[in-house]
């Protein structure tokens, strides 16, 4: 893992401790090759110091026709040889004058081919144009940018309906009162959890870091870091690296509102959303109850609509079903009646009574059994003869 | 620390879903009634939430042992 840059708290360690240079190699019997030696030196030299800010007097500036700048940076005791590649030269706003005191952001580069040490510069700023505080901010900005804290892809979206909002702000400033006023007007359903912190002066940075740490221990949906307007130097805490890193470490989206329209602090850049004032921050964070009420009313109307239509459709369907049912029943009954009539006719046709009616007679013994054969009727047998309108007694006379 | 059993965001999202499902017309009446009933409950919850009038402001204090304590704050 590369050394983490600028994790220090007091600003003295802004670029993080470089890893210790590798110690001298183990003594050995065979000779080193030149390449081996320069390779070892390169690793040792470049490993000893990362990219750092160096203050010194600019001298012997030689712009090369290729566009690169070659120069020396020195103070009373020592000097270093430097190069700034064309890409970075083109980004420089102006060419610093020789003899000027400058801040240079550079890293040591060991050129193995010639066993030479040069510093490769990225930025040169004349100290005359840069206050110490500004330089500190530049240094912090560089470290934060290196770790991707300004990356737009990091920015989180604000939740649409926050239930609980953490406010990191001064307990006695106007900012807190302003934020509560906006919340009351806009979305009183919210719960505001205030974590008091000093927002200016020496303890501010440390106190803000502590307060932001507390935010991570609370169940909140969003965090607002705010303070009222003030002079630029009052905002110094919001340019410190610990505060910026603490903002980046908050687990919920952070809105930074340090009450300054014109100056943007580093904390503003690290936060997910920047607001001009604490009141504006709450306007951004909280939904408007009138708007939400309207949306709910609209949803309510839409909720009832399809069901009303659904019931209407179902009722229609029911009526249609009833009709069909009635039709079915009536048709069934008619069918049954016809069938009964047809069966009745058939039954009628098959009835022996119909045959008798046509002039046939049926002979039956006294028990009512039908007598069909000669053998059933020996001479003298008494039987009854059934004709169409009744029966008469009869007797067999003689033999067949 | 969050007392609301269902957030307004969740409630409104569910309500949207219900309305869309009902509007899709393919639900049978039983299902539609079921959805409608759920929708009415969600609607009531949402209305109550928006109607809440009392802003709660509380201060978070860190005790000596590191525990957090929440106290009402008059702002």
> What integer pLDDT is reported at residue B1 of this predicted model?
41
Greater model confidence, B58 or A90: B58
Which residues make Cβ contacts (< 8 Å) with residue A169, sequence separation at least 6?
Answer: A175, A176, A179, A194, A196, A197, A199, A224, A225, A226, A227, A278
pLDDT of residue A57: 92
**Predicted pLDDT at A386:** 86
In a domain, A28, yes or no: no
| Rounded Cα distance, A6 and A17, in Å | 8
pLDDT in tens, B8-57: 888 888 988 988 888 876 667 788 788 888 888 888 888 888 888 789 99
Nearest to A82 by CA among A93, A94, B15, A96: A96
Same domain, A314 and A368: no
Contact A225, A212 (CB under 8 A): yes
- A226, A107: one domain: no
Nearest C-alpha neighbor of A229 from the set A165, A275, A197: A275
Q: Does any CB of chain B come closer than 8 Å to the CB of residue A318?
A: no
Say yes or no: A137 and A180 in one domain: no
Interface of B with A in 53-72 (CB under 8 A): 53-60, 62, 68, 70
Residue A21 lies in a domain: no
Classify the C-alpha dihedral A24-A28-A33-A34 as positive or negative: positive
Task: Give the Cα separation of A124 and A73 in Å (integer).
Answer: 11
C-alpha to C-alpha distance for A133 and A376, rounded to whole angstroms:
145
Q: What is the pLDDT of residue A23?
A: 63
Q: Which of A272, A287, A302 is the last residue of a domain?
A: A287
| Residue of B11, B30, B51, B39 lying closest to A300 (CA atoms) | B39
Q: Which of A225, A207, A211 is nearest to A165 (CA)?
A: A225
Outline where chain A has alpha helix (H). Answer: 34-48, 86-91, 132-146, 174-186, 204-215, 241-249, 266-270, 278-285, 289-350, 352-357
For chain A, the domain total comes to 4
Q: Does the beta-carbon distance from A219 to B60 stay under 8 Å?
A: no
pLDDT value at position A220? 96
Is residue A3 in some structural domain? Answer: no
Distance, CA of B30 to CA of B34 (rounded, Å): 6
CA distance B72 to chain A (A): 9
Do A51 and A136 lie in one domain? The reply is: yes
Name which of B2, B8, B27 is nearest A219 (Cβ-Cβ): B2
Q: Tell me the CA end-to-end span of chain A in Å, nearest whole number.
A: 136
A363 within domain boundaries: yes
- Which has more confidence, B61 or A125? B61
CA distance linking residue A327 with residue A187, whole number of Å = 62
Cβ of B22 and A218 within 8 Å?
no
Q: Which residue has the tokens 């509102």?
A: A257
**Structural domain contains residue A263:** yes
Q: Can you tell me which residue has the tokens 């039983």? A: B30
CB within 8 Å: A194 and B58: yes
Are A330 and A357 found together in one domain? no
**Is B41 part of the contact surface with chain A (CB cutoff 8 Å)?**
no
Q: Does the residue A259 lie in any domain? A: yes
Which residues, given as ranges, of chain A have pLDDT below 70?
1-26, 93, 129-133, 259-261, 346-354, 400
Residue that terminates a domain, selected from A287, A304, A323: A287
> Domain check: are A263 and A278 in the same one?
yes
Percent of chain B beyond pLDDT 70? 88
Q: What secondary structure does DSSP assign to A334-400, as a single string? A: HHHHHHHHHHHHHHHHH-HHHHHHTT--EEE-TT--B--SGGG--TT-EEEEEETTEEEEEE--S--
Q: Say if B16 is an interface residue toward chain A (CB within 8 Å).
A: yes
From A25, A43, A21, A199, select the one nearest A109 (Cα to Cα). A43
Contact check, Cβ <8 Å, A303/B70: no
Residues paired with residue A273 on neighbouring β-strands, in sequence order: A255
What pLDDT, on the 0 to 100 scale, is given for residue A186? Answer: 93
Q: Does A134 touch chain B (CB under 8 A)?
A: no
How many residues in total does chain B contain?
A: 75
Verify that A99 and A184 share a domain, yes or no: no
The enclosing H or E element of A60 equals strand A52-63
| A231 inside domain | yes
CA distance A16 to A241: 12
What is the extent of the structural domain holding A81? 34-146
Q: What pLDDT does A84 receive? A: 95
What's the residue count for chain A?
400
Provide the ipTM: 0.80
């Amino acid at each position: 893992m590369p050394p983490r840059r600028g994790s220090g708290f007091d600003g003295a360690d802004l670029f993080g401790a470089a890893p210790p240079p590798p110690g001298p190699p183990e003594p050995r019997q065979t000779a080193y090759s030149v390449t081996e030696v320069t390779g070892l030196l390169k690793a040792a030299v470049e490993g000893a110091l990362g990219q750092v800010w160096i203050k010194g007097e600019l001298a012997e500036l030689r712009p090369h026709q290729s566009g690169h700048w070659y120069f020396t940076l020195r103070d009373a005791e020592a000097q270093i040889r430097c190069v700034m590649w064309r890409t970075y030269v083109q980004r420089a706003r102006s060419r610093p004058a020789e003899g000027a005191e400058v801040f240079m952001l550079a890293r040591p580069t060991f050129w193995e081919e010639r066993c030479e040490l040069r510093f490769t510069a990225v930025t040169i700023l004349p100290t005359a144009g840069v206050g110490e505080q500004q330089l500190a901010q530049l240094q912090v900005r560089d470290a934060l940018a290196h770790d991707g804290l300004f990356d737009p892809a990091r920015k989180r979206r604000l939740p649409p309906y926050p239930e609980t909002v953490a406010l990191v702000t001064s307990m006695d400033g106007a900012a807190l009162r302003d934020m509560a006023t906006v919340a009351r007007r806009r979305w009183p359903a919210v719960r505001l959890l205030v974590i008091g912190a000093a927002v200016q002066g020496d303890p501010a940075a440390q106190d803000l870091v502590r307060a932001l740490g507390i935010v991570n221990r609370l169940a909140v949906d969003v965090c607002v870091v705010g303070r009222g307007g003030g002079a630029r130097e009052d905002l110094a805490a919001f340019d410190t690296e610990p505060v910026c890193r603490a903002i980046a470490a908050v687990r919920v989206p952070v809105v930074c509102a340090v009450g300054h329209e014109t100056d943007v602090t580093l904390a503003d850049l690290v936060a997910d959303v920047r607001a001009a004032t604490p009141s504006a921050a709450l306007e951004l964070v909280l939904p408007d109850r009138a708007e939400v009420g309207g949306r709910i009313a609209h949803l309510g109307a839409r909720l009832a609509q399809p069901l009303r239509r659904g019931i209407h459709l179902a009722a229609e369907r029911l009526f249609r079903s009833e009709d069909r049912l009635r039709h079915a029943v009536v048709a069934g009954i008619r069918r049954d009646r016809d069938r009964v009539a047809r069966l009745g006719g058939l039954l009628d046709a098959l009835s022996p009574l119909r045959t008798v009616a046509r002039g046939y007679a049926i002979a039956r013994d006294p028990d009512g059994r039908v007598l069909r054969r000669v053998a059933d009727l020996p001479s003298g047998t008494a039987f009854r003869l059934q004709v169409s309108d009744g029966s008469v007694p009869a007797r067999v006379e003689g033999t067949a | 620390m969050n007392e609301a059993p269902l957030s307004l965001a969740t409630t409104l999202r569910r309500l949207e879903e219900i309305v869309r499902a009902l509007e899709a017309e393919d639900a049978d009446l039983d299902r539609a009634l079921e959805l409608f009933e759920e929708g009415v409950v969600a609607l009531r919850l949402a209305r109550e939430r928006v109607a809440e009038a009392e802003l709660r402001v509380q201060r978070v204090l860190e005790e000596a042992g590191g525990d957090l304590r929440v106290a009402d704050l008059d702002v």
